[in-house]
Structure 1
Amino acid sequence: MQIVNSSKKSLTVFRADQVGSLLRSDRIKNARLKNASGEISAAHLRQIEDEEIERIVLKQKEIGLKAVTDGEFRRAWWHFDFLENLVGVDGFWSGSGIQFQQKQTKSRAIKVTNKLDFGTHPMLEDYKYLHQVAGEHIGKFTIPSPSMLHFRGEIDKSIYQDEEEFFEDLAKTYKKALQAFYDAGCRYLQLDDTSWAYLCSEEQKEQLRAKGVNPDYLIKMYLHTLNKALADRPADLKVTMHICRGNFRSTWISSGGYEPVAEQLFGHLNIDGFFLEYDNDRSGGFEPLRFVNRGDLNIVLGLITSKFGELESKDLIKKRIEEASQFVDLNQLCLSPQCGFASTEEGNLLTEEQQWAKLQHVVEISEEVWK
C-alpha cells in the first residue's frame, strides 16, 4: 500500500517493520576480537561481515519483511560509530559509560573538536553493500538523529562559542548526509533518538535542570535542527524516527508517556513516520497520538518487546492496535518490535532463534490485521 504526503511524494508503507539492529552472530563477535588482537586484517573482517550480513538479509526476506537491514553488524554502537566519523568529531575512551538500570556501557564518548561537516563517511560504503544484497527489497539504513551529537557529545567552546551556530552547522551536516545516502541509493533512512524519551521523563528532566540545561530549550532547538536538516530532501526518500528509551543488555534508562513532547513532535516535525516504544507500562497510553494531525504520517507501534524472548499474545497485540486506532486511523498504523535487538554489539538477553521468532510474529500479526 502507498500513501501520499503533503509534499506529493509516494512512499511505501511497511505494515510489518523493524527498528534495525540484530543480535551479532558468534562469527562476527569472534572476528572482531581477532581483528582487535591483530590475528586477522580489516579486509578479512569485512569479508566475514559481508557474508554474515548477506545471511541475515536472506533470513529477513524469508520471514516476510519487505524492508531489510544489515543488522548494524559493522558497528559497536548504534550512535557513536556514525557520529565520530563526521568531520569535526572525535571519539575517545572517557573512563565511564552510560548508566542504565543496574548496568553500564563501555566508556566510549564523543567530542566536537572542529567545525562540523559531512565528508567521505565509511557508512556510505556500508549502505552500498546492503543495497546490493537487498535486491528487490528495500534496504533500510539507520543513523543517529542529529540531536544525539548535542545530547551525548562534548562541544569545544573555543570552536563553537555560539551554540546556535553549532545547531546551524549540525543541520547543514545532516542535510548533506541525507543527500549522500540518497545518492548511494538509499530510499529508506531511519533516525534513532533517545533525547526525546529523556524529555518525556520527569526524572530525567530534573537531572538535566540540575546540570543547568533547560528541557524546553532542547525541545525548541532539536525540533528546529531536525526540520532544517529534513527540509527539501528528495521527494522519494522516506525518513522515519525511532524514539528510544534506552536499550542495553535488555535494560533501559527513561520512563514516561509521550505527552510532554507529542504536540511538538507529531504536529510539527517534517518526517514520514515515528517508531514508538509501547511494549510496557513505562511507555504510557496512546492518548498522545491525538496530536497526529497529518493523514500521511505513519505511526509504527513497538508493541513487541526486543528485550526478552517470550512471544506476546497475538490477541493482546491486536487489541492494543485497535486501542491505538481510536486516536490514529488504522491505515496510518504499522507494527514492529519496540527497539532493536542489539543497540550495542553486546546485544539483548535472548537467542537468535527467539529474535527471528519475534520478527516472524510481527509479520504474522500485521498480515492478520491489515488484510
Structure 2
Amino acid sequence: MHLLPPFRAEHIGSLKRPAVLLQKRKELDDGKITAEELLPVENQAIDNIVKMQREVGIKSFTDGEFRRHMFYDGVFDNLDGMEYLPDVPLEMFMSYVPDTMAFKHHSFKKAASYICIGKLKRTKPFYKAQYEYLKSITSPEEHKNIKITVCAPEWFHLRHGPYAYKKEAYSNDEDYFADIAQAYREEIQELYALGCRNIQFDDPLLAYFCAESMITGMTEQGADHEKLLNLYIKAYNDCLKDKPEDFTAGLHLCRGNFRDGLHFSEGGYDRIAVKLFNEINVDTYYLEYDTERAGTFEPLKFLPKDKSVVLGLITSKFPKLEDVDELKKRIYAAADTIANGHEPRSKEEALSQICISPQCGFASHADGNPVTEDDVVKKLSLVVKTAREIWPDA
C-alpha cells in the first residue's frame, strides 16, 4: 500500500518570517537594496528554519516559503504569456469568489493580479532554485524528505473567470489549461531529475466549492459550479499525468489564513468529498480541521485505502496551544470514520492512513499571522508530541 507522506508529524510549508528578513524585503520593495543583497539574508533565515525543523522533530523540510511574498508565488509569475497588472479593476474579479468578495466588501477599487495575454509556455524553472538550496543544506539521506509547495493550477482562473485570459490567446478553457498542465509536467520532471520526491499543491480554491456563498453566487450569475469543478479536477490530473511512481503529490485545502487569522469561506468537505478523494490523482490530502468552519470528519468516509490524509487539527492562526488528549481523541474519531467508510477497513489500517499537522502555514503571505517565532516552535513541537503518543516511531 502506497501511504504518503512518510511522516506522521507534518507541517504545511510556510513559516513565520524573522523580523530581519521582513525588514530587508521591505527595503527591496522600496528600492533601497537589490535582490542580490537580499539573498544572503534569505539564506541565513532558511538555514535557521531548517535547523529548527530538525530540532523539533519535523522530518520533512521546507524553506518556510521565505523567498516568496505570497504562498502561490512561483508559477504564474514565471510563465511566458502571463502579465502582471498592478491595478486590475475589481469588475475583472469574480464577485462570487470568497476572497474577492472580501476585497469588494472593504471597498477596494483595484487590486494587483496576473492576466494571461499570450500562449503560456514554461521557459524557465518555477521552484528549481528553492529546491537546490534546500538540497545544499541537507544531507543526501534527507533530500527525499524535502517538500516543495506549489501554486494551484487554477489560481488566477477562478478569480478572473472570463477575464483570466485574452481571447486572442485562447478560445476556451480547455486549451488554456492544456498549456498550464504541460508547464507543470515539465516542472515536475525537472524537480524529479534534481532529486525532489515530494510536492504539495496549496489550494484554498477547491475549498471554496464547499462554501454555500460561492455556490449561490455562481448560480445567480449563471456559472456552472459542477462543470468548473470538473474542469479543475481534469487540470490537476493532466498536470500529474506523467508523475513518477515514487514521487508524492499532496493537496492542501484551507479556507483562508490571511492577516489576524481572517478566513474567507466556511463549509465542510461534504459537497466535494467523493470527487476530491476519488477523482484527483494525488497521494495525500492536507485538510484544515482546527475549527468548526471546516465541518465534521464525515467526508473522510470516502477516503480510499491507497491514499492518506493529514489532519490539520492545530491552528496556526493564534498562539494558544491545543490539548494533547483532545487532539488524540479527534485523531481516533477520524480513524473510526475512515474505518467505517465506503471501503470498510480495520481501525488500525485507518489509523495508518492518518498524519497530523497545523491547519495551514504560519505565514501564507509575508506579514504572517499574530504568532511569534517561539509560538511556531511550540506548535510544531506539539504536532510531534501528539504524533509520537499515537505512533511511537513518528
Give me the TM-score of the superposition, normalised by structure 2: 0.87
The equivalent residue for 1:19 is 12
CA distance in 1 between counterparts of 2:138 and 2:101 reads 36
Task: Indicate how the Cα distance of structure 1 residues 217 and 335 shifts in structure 2: closer, same or farther if over 3 A, else same.
Answer: same
Deviates more, 1:259-268 or 1:224-233: 224-233
Structure 1 residue runs of 5 or longer lacking an equivalent are: 6-10
Task: Indicate how the Cα distance of structure 1 residues 100 and 22 shifts in structure 2: closer, same or farther if over 3 A, else same.
Answer: farther
**1:104-253 matches, cutoff 5 A:** 107-135=111-139, 136-137=141-142, 138-153=145-160, 154-249=164-259, 250-253=261-264
Contact 2:5 2:308 in 1 (8 A): no
Residue 278 of structure 1: how far off its partner (Å): 0.5
CA distance in 2 between counterparts of 1:354 and 1:124 reads 30
Code of the residue aligned with 2:228 in structure 1: it is L
Q: 1:187-234 deviations in whole A, cap 9, x for unaligned?
A: 110001112111001112222334432110111111111111112211
The equivalent residue for 2:60 is 67
The equivalent residue for 1:36 is 29
CA distance in 1 between counterparts of 2:232 and 2:126 reads 25
Q: 1:212-269 deviations in whole A, cap 9, x for unaligned?
A: 3211011111111111111221121111000121111111001000011100010121
Residue 342 of structure 1: how far off its partner (Å): 0.6
SS at match of 2:114: strand
Q: 1:35-82 deviations in whole A, cap 9, x for unaligned?
A: 223332211101110111011111111100000110100111111443
Deviates more, 1:236-245 or 1:211-220: 211-220
Q: 1:334 aligns with which of 350, 355, 369?
A: 355
**1:290-305 matches, cutoff 5 A:** 290-293=301-304, 295-305=305-315
Residue 322 of structure 1: how far off its partner (Å): 0.7
Task: Indicate how the Cα distance of structure 1 residues 206 and 246 shifts in structure 2: closer, same or farther if over 3 A, else same.
Answer: same
CA distance in 1 between counterparts of 2:126 and 2:391 reads 38
SS at match of 2:352: helix
The equivalent residue for 2:344 is none
Contact 2:5 2:284 in 1 (8 A): no
Contact 1:98 1:107 in 2 (8 A): no
SS at match of 1:120: coil
Code of the residue aligned with 2:372 in structure 1: it is T
CA distance in 1 between counterparts of 2:217 and 2:71 reads 24
Aligned residue pairs, count: 363
Contact 1:298 1:333 in 2 (8 A): yes
CA distance in 2 between counterparts of 1:58 and 1:27 reads 18
Task: Indicate how the Cα distance of structure 1 residues 363 and 43 shifts in structure 2: closer, same or farther if over 3 A, else same.
Answer: same
Contact 2:61 2:146 in 1 (8 A): yes
SS at match of 2:217: helix
Code of the residue aligned with 2:150 in structure 1: it is I
Contact 1:299 1:333 in 2 (8 A): yes
SS at match of 2:271: helix
Task: Indicate how the Cα distance of structure 1 residues 310 and 47 shifts in structure 2: closer, same or farther if over 3 A, else same.
Answer: same
Code of the residue aligned with 2:386 in structure 1: it is I
CA distance in 2 between counterparts of 1:223 and 1:209 reads 20
CA distance in 2 between counterparts of 1:337 and 1:25 reads 19
Task: Indicate how the Cα distance of structure 1 residues 309 and 43 shifts in structure 2: closer, same or farther if over 3 A, else same.
Answer: same
Identity of aligned residues (%): 37
CA distance in 2 between counterparts of 1:186 and 1:103 reads 41
Code of the residue aligned with 2:320 in structure 1: it is E
Residue 147 of structure 1: how far off its partner (Å): 2.1
SS at match of 2:38: helix
